[in-house]
Amino acid sequence: SISPFDGNRDELASFLANCDAAFEIAHDTQLIILLRFVVTQIQGKAKAAICNRDFKDWRELLDFLKLLYQDRKHYAQLPCELTNIQQKQNENIHQFIERVETLLKRVTTAIKQNTKNQQVTVDRDNHLLQGKLDLMQDIALQRFIHFTHPKISDRLRSCKLDSLNEAMTIAISEEISLKMINPSKQNQQHRPSHHSPKPNYFNANNQPKFDSPQEKFQQNSNWRVNEVVQSSNTKSCAYCKNLGHTIQECRKRKYKESIRNSQNNSNVHHLNMTHSSA
């Protein structure tokens, strides 16, 4: 049957193959009617592309669709992409499977088209085509086994797998099991806590952290002001030059003055005794 085609590049090959098969078995008197039917099966953006054009036969329509929607990449590029495909860090297994299947489908289509264009015998053509397709299937399987996320890859490598579909089924099951056993760390991190720690405003050297040069300048200025204030509030003795007390509180000064006063008193007493004797 001929399914509708809406301009999806990945569906072009199967649509053209189905149409080719229908035109090969159609009688000459049926070709025009079949062509009109094929045109009705073209929908969406592809319909808009052909609506103002008239096609005299299927070959002309086929060439036009290839011109618009055939894969732009060279035949050799797609196998190279397949040999380098791997699951991305933020990609779940379903998304990775979809990428692998889409790329493998494009590779298969490119190989079939390239083999078809080569001038070889039918037997050699079939053997060559099947060998290439088997090789691409094996490459896809090995990339899927070894380049999924590590825990899924470990599970796949422990199994004896013969097909890509089997590997994909096991990978899906393993991802589900891992989610059940190990809840998402991200969800735990975003879970609200009633005992949230206070923010740390100091770095490893116990120095304040700054968000901008302006804040750092302002903080340094504040430190300088504090140092000046602290310096101005520190007591200093003008007599003994020591810190921590003023000259009025200086014990050394008081001790010296007491000795001086005692000496003066002794001298006065001696003079008084001398005068009395005279």
Structural class in CATH, domain 77-181? mainly alpha
CB burial of residue 113 (10 Å; 0-12, 13-18, 19+):
middle
Residue ranges covered by each domain of the chain: 9-69, 77-181, 213-278
pTM above 0.75, yes or no: no
CA 94/CA 89 separation, integer angstroms: 13
Q: Please, which pLDDT band fits residue 10 given cuts at 50, 70 and 90?
A: confident
Q: Please, which pLDDT band fits residue 154 given cuts at 50, 70 and 90?
A: very high
Question: Tokens at residue 12, please?
Answer: 């072009």
Q: Over 50: is that where the pLDDT of 260 sits?
A: yes
3-state SS of 151-192 is HHHHHHHCCCCCCHHHHHHHHHHHHHHHHHHCCCHHHHHHCC
Q: Please say whether the beta carbons of 183 and 122 come within 8 A.
A: no
Say what the pLDDT of residue 254 is: 78
E strand or H helix at 20, and its extent? helix 9-25
Give the orientation angle of helix 164-181 with respect to helix 93-117, to 10 degrees.
Answer: 170
pLDDT in tens, 24-58: 999 999 999 999 999 999 999 999 999 889 999 99
Q: Please, which pLDDT band fits residue 106 given cuts at 50, 70 and 90?
A: confident
- Mean pLDDT calculated for residue range 262-269: 62
At residue 5, the 3 state secondary structure works out as strand
53-57, 188-192, 199-203: which has the highest mean pLDDT?
53-57
Amino acid making up residue 32: I
CB burial of residue 50 (10 Å; 0-12, 13-18, 19+):
middle
- Residue 217 or residue 159, greater confidence: 159
Question: Tokens at residue 204, please?
Answer: 């490893």
DSSP letters, 216-268, are: HHHHHHHHHHHHHHHHHHS-B-TTT--BSS-STT-HHHHHHHHHHHHHHHHHH
Q: What percent of the chain has pLDDT over 90?
A: 39
